[in-house]
């Protein structure tokens, strides 16, 4: 078994250290930490982060207020699908998806 740590979303919300405990500026730097686990039966993706749909059309699923306050960095390089492909796998190799919770930044990809 091998575990890959993925950053499937980058947010810089207003509030600095109130969010991440160490930022000195006006905004914090947060990542959506997802896991890709290689097993003998295929890949398991734990959380999905923001998806390609979010990158292409953020306001189709997320409110403008949420996007603005969290200063979400919508870039396709942060999507699980692109990172899975960068690792040499395809989406079809993912056999299971486990969602730890349904926050927007964990269940959109």
In a domain, 52, yes or no: yes
Separation between Cα atoms, residue 39 and residue 10, nearest integer Å: 27
Q: Is residue 84 part of a domain?
A: yes
- Residue 62, in any domain of the structure: yes
Domain that holds residue 54: 2-98
Angle at 77 between CA 72 and CA 78, to 5 degrees: 45
Within-domain flag for 58 = yes
- Per-residue pLDDT of 49-59, as tens digits, reads 999 999 999 99
Q: Specify if 108 maps to a domain.
A: no
The CATH number of residue 44's host domain is 3.60.15.10
Selection from 56, 59, 51 nearest residue 82 by Cα? 51
| Contacts with 61 (C-beta within 8 Å, 6 or more apart), sequence order | 53, 54, 104, 108
* % of residues, the chain, pLDDT over 90: 65
Query: pLDDT class for 26, splitting at 50, 70, 90?
Result: confident
The number of distinct structural domains making up the chain is 1
CB 85 within 8 A of CB 4: no
Q: What is the pTM of this model?
A: 0.86
Domain contains 106: no
């Amino acid at each position: 078994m091998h575990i890959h740590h993925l950053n499937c979303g980058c947010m810089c919300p207003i509030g600095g250290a109130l969010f991440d405990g160490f930022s000195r500026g006006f905004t914090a730097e947060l990542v959506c930490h997802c896991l890709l686990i290689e097993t003998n039966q295929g890949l398991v993706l734990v959380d999905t982060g923001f998806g390609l749909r979010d990158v292409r059309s953020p306001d189709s699923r997320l409110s403008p207020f949420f996007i603005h306050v969290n200063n979400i960095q919508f870039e396709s390089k942060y999507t699980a699908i692109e990172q899975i492909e960068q690792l040499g796998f395809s989406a079809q190799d993912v056999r299971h998806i486990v969602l730890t919770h349904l926050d927007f930044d964990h269940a959109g990809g």
